[in-house]
Structure formats: structure tokens, C-alpha cells
């Protein structure tokens, strides 16, 4: 309980993270440029040529959206913050902020293993720092509610490690064959989406359980000092 007390309220950490994610999600559209000076007859053909740009837009948006969703779900059991938690979150934002660049690079050089490596390594670095951050927050219930079950923590840790490993594997496969690498990236996204679908009700249940724990009121008061 002492640890929880010594942590700080974390509302502003979430605000700045949500802000960066919102901006990255919105900056991706700047890669879609309106073709200028065409006749009405030429327009449909030129828009059709933009199709690959739309695909990259949708894929990058999905990546960042999944990144935000996982941050939201995992962070919802973390109720306080400290220096290390804040610093690691900032490091995660550094890699998320790179996505408009790495997505544009991959969009222009879709067959290049180097471009896929840039995209995959920034995703892997984000995931790796996120895993470290999760480990820091949860060991000894350092920054979580003390009623959070060890089973849930362990399962979420396994999920994070698998996600991180998936991105490193994607980069490696890209150097074997760019197509296989892209396929691996899609598999990583689908699997992580499915994992969140399965995990979210367990996280929500853990929160509800913590809410009804006997010393909840006291911790809640501390939380509201923000």
C-alpha cells in the first residue's frame, strides 16, 4: 500500500499520450494529396492510381489505432505513476511519433525490406519499451491496484512479449522475402487485435473487482488528488 501512496496521480500522462496518438492518427492523411488541374474526365483515373496510398493510410491508421487501444487497456489497471513510468512512456511516444515517417517510407517502397525494417523496428521498439514499462508497473503491484490478480498480470505480460517478438520476426522475415514480411505484419496486427478482444473483458472484470475491494475508497481518494 505504501508504494501506491508514493506514486503520483497519472491523469496528465494519459492526456499527453492521447494527444500524441490523436495527432499521429490525423497526420497520416497528409500523405494523401489532391491531384491538381485535372478535367472531370481525368479525375476518376487519377484517384484510382491513389489506391496504394489509401491502403497504406488504412494500414498505418490500423497500426496506430491498435497501439492506442492496447495502451488504453493495459494502462487502465495502472492507477499511479512514478519517474520511471513517465520516462518510459515518453520513450514510447518517440517511437509512435515516427510512424508518419515510417508509414510514408513503406508506402513509397513497399517492396523494400529496409523500408519494412524501419516500420517494423519502430513498432518493435515501441512494444519492447511498453513491455518493460508494464513489468515496472506491475512487479509487486508497484503502480497497480493491489487486488489485481497475478494470473492476469502474467497473461498480459505473455501477450506483450509475443507482440514484441512478432515485430522482430516480421523484420527478419522481410529480409528473406518482402512479401512474407508484409504478410507477417498483417498476421501480427490481426493476432494482437484478437488478443485484445479476449483480454479486455478480463481487464474490465479485474477493475470491477478492485472497485468493490474493501480499501477501495481510500485509494480512490488518493487517486482524485490529481
The footprint of a copy of itself on residues 37-66 (CB under 8 A) is 38, 40, 43-44, 47, 58, 61, 65
Among 49, 52, 108, 131, binds a copy of itself (CB under 8 A): 108
Residue 7 binds to a copy of itself (criterion: CB under 8 A): yes
Closer to a copy of itself at the Cβ: 25 or 165?
A: 25
Between CA 114 and CA 199 the distance in angstroms is 33
**Cβ 75 vs Cβ 143: under 8 Å:** no
CB of 95 to a copy of itself, least distance (A): 10
Among 88, 147, 192, 203, binds a copy of itself (CB under 8 A): 203
The pattern of x and - marking residues 126 through 145 that bind a copy of itself according to CB under 8 A reads --------------------
**Cβ 202 vs Cβ 75: under 8 Å:** no
Q: Give me the DSSP letters along 62-127.
A: HHHHHHHHHHHHHHTTB--B-HHHHHHHHHHHHHHHTHHHHHHHHHH-TT-HHHHHHHHHHHHHHH
Residue 208 binds to a copy of itself (criterion: CB under 8 A): yes
Amino acid at each position: 500500500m505504501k508504494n501506491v501512496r508514493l506514486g503520483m496521480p497519472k491523469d496528465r500522462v494519459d492526456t499527453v499520450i492521447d494527444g500524441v496518438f490523436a495527432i499521429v492518427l490525423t497526420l497520416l492523411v497528409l500523405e494523401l494529396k489532391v491531384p491538381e488541374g485535372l478535367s472531370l474526365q481525368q479525375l476518376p483515373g487519377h484517384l484510382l492510381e491513389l489506391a496504394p496510398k489509401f491502403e497504406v493510410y488504412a494500414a498505418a491508421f490500423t497500426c496506430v489505432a491498435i497501439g492506442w487501444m492496447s495502451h488504453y487497456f493495459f494502462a487502465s489497471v495502472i492507477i499511479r505513476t512514478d519517474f520511471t513510468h513517465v520516462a518510459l512512456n515518453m520513450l514510447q511516444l518517440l517511437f509512435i511519433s515516427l510512424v508518419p515517417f515510417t508509414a510514408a517510407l513503406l508506402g513509397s517502397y513497399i517492396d523494400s525490406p529496409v523500408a519494412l525494417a524501419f516500420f517494423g523496428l519502430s513498432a518493435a521498439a515501441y512494444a519492447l519499451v511498453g513491455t518493460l514499462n508494464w513489468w515496472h508497473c506491475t512487479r509487486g503491484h508497484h503502480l497497480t491496484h493491489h487486488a489485481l490478480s497475478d494470473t492476469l498480470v502474467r497473461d498480459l505480460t505473455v501477450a506483450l512479449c509475443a507482440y514484441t517478438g512478432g515485430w522482430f520476426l516480421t523484420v527478419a522475415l522481410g529480409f528473406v522475402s518482402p512479401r512474407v514480411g508484409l504478410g507477417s505484419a498483417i498476421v501480427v496486427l490481426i493476432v494482437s487485435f484478437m488478443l485484445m478482444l479476449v483480454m479486455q473483458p478480463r481487464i474490465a472484470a479485474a477493475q470491477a473487482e478492485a472497485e468493490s475491494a474493501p480499501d477501495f475508497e481510500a485509494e480512490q481518494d488518493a487517486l482524485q488528488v490529481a
